Chain A
Amino acid sequence: MDATLSGRQAGTGLIAARKPTGRVSDPVFVGILWTSGIVVLLLLGLIIAMLFEGGLPAIQEFGLSFIWSTTWNPVTEVFGAGVMVFGTVFSAVIAVIIALPLSFGIAFFLTEIAPGPLRRPIGVAIQLLAAIPSIIYGMWGFFVIVPLMAAYVQPPLIEWLGPLPLIGALFQGPPLGAGMLTAGLIMAIMILPFITAMFVEVLESVPPMIKESAYGVGATTYEVYRNVSVPYGRTAMVGAVMLGLGRALGETMAVTFVIGNATRMSASLFAPGATIASTIANEFPEASTGSLKLQSLLELGFILFVISFIVLALSRLLVRSRLKG
């Protein structure tokens, strides 16, 4: 019944489309489409140009070493992006490391194991995670997660792992609660929905015939997952992870609440740090026009743009290569 109805509708649609609707309206329509497309490009180009031009004086003042210099001193007006670039990448990588196994688990559970009635509620719950505003994550992190980390997670880790050689450096310092690890943890929850959604899509695109054959020759659920599903969608999955990384790099409000905001370099997971986005959020309101500080902040924005662009371009490349093949 449904099929015949939609079939008939499609038929009338086709007939309507064949009718010539005028020589003017079509070019106008195409023109509008062109404008929409060009506007996006223009907007992006102008933003990049503005950031670059605004930040240029900072590069001229400090040279290219601005990018890796670890001094950020508003008193003497000596600025460098090193601490923020490191903090941005470090916290985003922590987020991905935490989110990745969780996403794998959820995605495979949803596509293979979960009974029908359970799939929708879990799927919707994950999508809702993406709908929670960033500031809410920040407040939740600040009032709930930070005290928990300071009281129960960090002290034992510092005691047990801190004295170890090599990896001990990751677990040293006072248990502040706020810091790189907490920021990464909050961001992991924030990027989870995006990575999971892509994983589900990839896993669902694995042809059932291949999976059934694997089960047919006696493979276990784990073996099918490990040797059939994952290899089939590997490139797209890497792309999905990069997409999550891209989101984590630019996260601002939630991170500002929980990262501890210190412009000091430290290898420890528990040490307070700063990301490019959090520094801009903190310092922008008091930066006066034409000041070296404002120019340095704009330059920071430009650097973040470049990092995000590289990550996103890489992810597009990987996702597309798989979905085509």
Chain B
Amino acid sequence: MKFTHLLGAAALSFGAVFSGAAFAADINGAGASFPAPVYQAWAAAYKEKTGTGLNYQSIGSGGGQNQIVNRTVDFGASDAPMKDDKLESANLLQFPTVIGSVVAIVNLGEDHALTLNGDIIAQIYQGKITKWNDPKIVALNKDAKLPDLAIVPVYRSDSSGTSFVFTSYLSSASSDWKSAVGAATSVQWPAGAGAKGNEGVAGTVKNTKGAIGYVEFIYAAANKLATTDLVNKAGKVVKPETKTFMEAAAAADWKGAKNFAASMIDTAGEGAWPITSATYILLPKNPSSAAQSAEAIKFFDWAYSAEGDAIAEKLHYIPLPDSVADEVRKAWATEVKADGKAVWTN
């Protein structure tokens, strides 16, 4: 028994080296680090169920895009959706897998149930609001006794999908931010200090009194960090929790979005968390190996099942709404072709 496990592990690592040449059954993917935990959990469960292994390298969205454009992997993964013209020129199909959220974390020395809005956060990160007892913050938190403490904004120093989602939110909430700073995986931050990774931001916020930072919800939940509530576009105060994330996913305009790049940032839904975003997979529409491509699609088809959803939820990700998953399945069946023949049928 143990021996077969060892054999399996050996096959998996060989598959990684030979990129599926000798072990056609293994799927190779690379890209975004945000969904890496759920992809790896899916891979382990899928391997047990079907015997097909999946090797996912968490090298960052940029790296994932590069590798799939050069076709060195079976699929790429990216947090930010790829631009339409780039998708077209590289002949790629883009589809979402899971949904994640970004939350704001604060350190005021003592526990405060704090409510903020996008405009205030934008001004904090621009160095325009510098004290926690600023009238604008007090107006949203009438019951809390806010200290006369300097605000230290903390951001991700490494370029990341998390920063992209966060700055997209600030751009949507504040026109001033949009014109002065903008949205990208890394921007020229007007104020504050940068720390590497979720753990760096969380550590700096924990160490610095008066600090505010942003991390992925999965990280905040796993480490039980103190998060803030936000006022969403509908003017309602929302808490960062599964319910509000799902409302954001439901409120997104999936029908109108090209290449499934539906924005969930600052949606109009009554109870929607405003900093929510999907993470994407990039799959060649003209795969060199139909068998490999079919295996990859089968994997994601299973990931959309109730079994896959349960694994995602356990890790605090939000599964894709079923209606969207069905749209993605249609796209697989019609758009991914090898020698003019669909590699996968529903």
Contacts and interface: CB of A to CB of B under 8 A. Distances in A.
Interface of A: 71-76, 142-143, 146-147, 150, 174, 176-179, 256-257, 260-264, 272, 278, 281-283, 285-289
A278 to B, nearest CB: 8
B207 A177 contact: yes
Interface string B61-74: 11101100100000
A75 B158 contact: no
Contact of B157 (A146, A174, A179, A256): A256
A75 B62 contact: no
A171 to B, nearest CB: 16
B37 interface: no
Given A143-B203, A178-B193, A285 B188 contact: no
A179 B188 CA distance: 17
| Interface of B: prevailing SS | loop
Given A75-B181, A260-B193, A285-B59, 6 more contacts: A72-B188, A150-B207, A178-B195, A257-B196, A285-B60, A285-B63
B208 A74 contact: no
B159 A257 contact: no
A307 B66 CA distance: 31
A260 B60 CA distance: 21
A74 B188 contact: yes
A287 B181 CA distance: 19
B20 interface: no
B40 to A, nearest CB: 18
B152 interface: yes
Contacts, number: 92
Contacts of A142: 200, 203
A286 B207 contact: no
A74 B187 contact: yes
A282 B158 contact: yes
A282 to B, nearest CB: 5
A281 B152 CA distance: 24
Given A285-B60, A288-B66, A289-B66, A174 B150 contact: yes
Contacts of B207: 146-147, 150, 177
Interface string B169-208: 0000000000001111111111011111000100110011
Contacts of A146: 204, 207
A167 B62 CA distance: 43
Interface centre among A75, A178, A272, A286 (most CB of B within 10 A): A286
B56 to A, nearest CB: 15
A69 to B, nearest CB: 12
B232 interface: no
B160 interface: yes
Contact of B159 (A71, A74, A264): A74
A75 B187 contact: yes
Nearest to B189: A262
Contacts of A76: 182
Contacts of B194: 260-262, 272, 282
Given A142-B200, A282-B158, A74 B59 contact: no
Contacts of B63: 285-286
Given A71-B188, A176-B208, A262 B183 contact: no
B186 A286 contact: yes
**Interface majority SS (helix, strand, loop, mixed), chain A:** loop
Q: Which residue of B59, B157, B184, B208 has the most chain A CB atoms within 10 A of its CB atom?
A: B157
B145 to A, nearest CB: 22
B283 to A, nearest CB: 18
B103 to A, nearest CB: 21
A143 B63 CA distance: 30
B211 to A, nearest CB: 9
Contacts of A74: 159, 184-188
Contacts of B186: 74, 282-283, 286
A283 B156 CA distance: 11
Contacts of B157: 256, 261, 278, 282
Contact of A261 (B62, B69, B196, B208): B196
A76, A176, A177 pick with most chain B CB within 10 angstroms: A176
Nearest to B154: A176
Nearest to B199: A142
Nearest to B204: A178
Nearest to B187: A75
A286 B208 contact: no
Contacts of A287: 62, 159
Contacts of A261: 157, 193-196
A260 B187 CA distance: 15
Nearest to A138: B196
Contacts of B150: 174
Contacts of A264: 189-190
Contacts of B190: 264
Contacts of A256: 157, 196
A10 B218 CA distance: 69
29 contacts: A71-B188, A72-B188, A73-B187, A73-B188, A74-B184, A74-B185, A74-B188, A75-B184, A75-B187, A142-B200, A150-B208, A174-B152, A176-B193, A176-B208, A179-B193, A256-B196, A260-B193, A262-B189, A262-B192, A263-B189, A264-B190, A272-B192, A278-B157, A282-B196, A285-B158, A286-B60, A286-B61, A287-B159, A288-B65
Interface in B73-107: none
Contacts of B59: 285
Nearest to B182: A75
A262 B183 CA distance: 17
A234 B261 CA distance: 65
Interface string B10-25: 0000000000000000
A76 B65 CA distance: 20
A285 B159 contact: yes
Most buried by A among B159, B184, B188, B190: B188
A116 B2 CA distance: 57
- A-B residue pairs, 10 tightest by C-beta: A261-B194, A261-B157, A75-B182, A285-B60, A286-B159, A286-B62, A260-B193, A272-B193, A73-B188, A147-B207
